[in-house]
Structure 1
Amino acid sequence: MALSIARRFNVFFLMAFMVSVLAACVTTERGGIASKADQAQVLETALLSARHYVHIGNWQAAKRHLKTAIEIDDSSAEVYEAMALVYQNTGEFEFAEQNYKKSINIDNGFSRVRNNYAAFLYQQQRYEEAVKQLVRVVADTFYNKRSNAYINLGQSYLQLAKLPEAEQAFYQAHLMASSNLALLFQLAEVNYRLEHFSQSQKYYDAYHSQVKQQSAPSLWLGIRLADKFGDNNAISSYTLALKNLYPESKEYLQYREIFNND
């Protein structure tokens, strides 16, 4: 997603990872059958190994460890989530969706996997379905990535041209993560599209005052806002920056088309 598309896992430092692997190698057998504690340790180690390989993009190694994990316990929501991410990144989208759904069916309150599944749906341009998942995620007040989920929700609403809903989602994210500069710009843009020009200008000024160099989209928004308020000096300044910094950008082409400027 412009969405914040997520395949990030909590990966332990290498030393902790190696300790876990070594610990798993020390097993106690009782009558030739490993104890439940031993199996739990092997499962944890297989999952940690899979997460490590997902993190570095070694999909085959990740699948090998996840296969081991499933053989030990086929009711782990985290295992199927990791498997879904592997298939998503190898372009096997049908298998990815199957594993996302398995993970959610096992643990209906697993907000992280719902957020990742929503990112997958967004990637597939299935925005209505992404919204349904994200509405569930943001309702989880204990989810530690809730502000990101609101951003993803806002992006999904934008794709559906539901501007008031998008603005509300971005605003909620802003309340939770006020230092996020990208959110300030997003709020300025969506308020402009809603024709809330004064509100858009407020967010734009807050954004502009904190960035070292504006992007082509932000300069283009600055030009349009300055035009609404008749600020010719700002129009000239932003136009010059847009022309010099991003002469090949679509925003500069839009400026030339709309303002009939050669």
Structure 2
Amino acid sequence: MTLRVALLLLFVSLSAGCVLSGDFNPMKTSKGRDEAREAYVQLGLGYLQQGMTERAKVPLKKALELDESDADANAALALVFQAEMEPDLADQHYRKALAARPSDARILNNYGSFLFEEKRYKDAYQRFEQAAADTLYPERSRVFENLGMTAVMLGDRDLARQHLEKALRLNRQQPRALLEMAELSFEDRHYVPARDYYDRFSLLSEQNARSLLLGVRLATVFEDRDKAASYGLQLKRLYPGSPEYQQYLSEQ
């Protein structure tokens, strides 16, 4: 099971500045420096969104030259190094970002996702817990989803279920949480709720190897041979080299 890093970024448009005459230099004022730093960060995030990580570093470096402790610039650079698979550098910049803004739920959630990716599950869980404490964070449902996925990896199924149920109460349309709840319910032999979660997942998301294998298993339980065969064929066609397909073959 993998957890794709969710890059919870809010991109804002860079508006054109006013045309000024004379020798006015916005960099001489604190407001001008703040606006320049923010613009550099947004430019860097724009490059990152396009997958241009090397170009993203240029404006982010300029932002840090204006304020080396800036939380947004360090958090953005952490995402850049995370994308470039430089975990030590990513960790360093996440820590710098949190040193400047320790209660920022967005940074905490991104850092938790990075730690999960690094299989540092206890550390990830701690960061997600801190992010969840912000009751006004607009992506709080995803934080609880992340808490649930991390609890699964820590072997605490009951806690995982609690977090995933909370995530779905906050936002019913979360495919990852629905699939995980379907899987947990199936493993507990609660087949009817497992099917309900699975059907809701199927309405919101494309199938993947894991979901197709679960679909086969659920269809088999409910003696729907046509559906089981259909899911099996999709698994063979789309994911022939996956562990899920090998598991499917072993169960036939």
Q: Judge same fold: TM > 0.5, yes or no.
A: yes
Q: What are the superposed Cα offsets for residues 7-65 of structure 1, whole Å, 9 maximum, x if unpaired?
A: 3522234xxx2515x779997259xx812222222222222222222222333332222
Aligned-residue Cα RMSD (Å) equals 3.0
Asked if the contact 2:79–2:90 (Cα under 8 Å) also holds between the matched residues in 1, the reply is yes
Give the alignment partner of residue 176 of structure 1, picking from 170, 179, 187: 170
Change (3 A) 1:256 1:34: closer
CA–CA distance in structure 1, aligned partners of residues 162 and 44 of structure 2: 38
Asked if the contact 2:175–2:205 (Cα under 8 Å) also holds between the matched residues in 1, the reply is no
Change (3 A) 1:145 1:252: same
Corresponding residue number in structure 2 for 1:257: 250
Give the alignment partner of residue 187 of structure 2, picking from 185, 193, 201: 193
Change (3 A) 1:217 1:51: closer
What is the percentage of aligned positions where both structures have the same residue?
27
Q: What are the superposed Cα offsets for residues 115-154 of structure 1, whole Å, 9 maximum, x if unpaired?
A: 1111111111111111111111112111111111122222
Deviation at 1:3, TM superposition (A): 2.8
Deviation at 1:220, TM superposition (A): 3.2
CA–CA distance in structure 2, aligned partners of residues 51 and 207 of structure 1: 31
- Give the counterpart letter for 2:32 in structure 1: D
Give the alignment partner of residue 137 of structure 1, picking from 120, 131, 134: 131
Deviation at 1:4, TM superposition (A): 4.5
Is the counterpart of residue 95 in structure 1 residue 89 in structure 2? yes
Corresponding residue number in structure 1 for 2:5: 5
Asked if the contact 1:77–1:103 (Cα under 8 Å) also holds between the matched residues in 2, the reply is yes
- Of stretches 219-228 and 84-93 in structure 1, the one that deviates more from structure 2 is 219-228
SS of the aligned residue for 1:140 comes to: coil
CA–CA distance in structure 2, aligned partners of residues 76 and 144 of structure 1: 22
Q: Which runs of 5+ in 1 are unaligned?
A: none
Deviation at 1:203, TM superposition (A): 2.3
CA–CA distance in structure 1, aligned partners of residues 67 and 20 of structure 2: 16
Q: TM-score scaled by structure 1?
A: 0.81
Total equivalences in the alignment = 248
- Give the counterpart letter for 1:237 in structure 2: D
Change (3 A) 1:24 1:196: farther
CA–CA distance in structure 1, aligned partners of residues 59 and 209 of structure 2: 44
Corresponding residue number in structure 2 for 1:157: 151
Change (3 A) 1:153 1:23: farther
Corresponding residue number in structure 1 for 2:233: 244
Asked if the contact 1:114–1:133 (Cα under 8 Å) also holds between the matched residues in 2, the reply is yes
Corresponding residue number in structure 2 for 1:19: 16
- Give the counterpart letter for 1:78 in structure 2: D
Change (3 A) 1:105 1:256: same
Q: Which runs of 5+ in 2 are unaligned?
A: none
Deviation at 1:183, TM superposition (A): 3.0
Structure label with greater radius of gyration:
1
Is the counterpart of residue 127 in structure 1 residue 121 in structure 2? yes
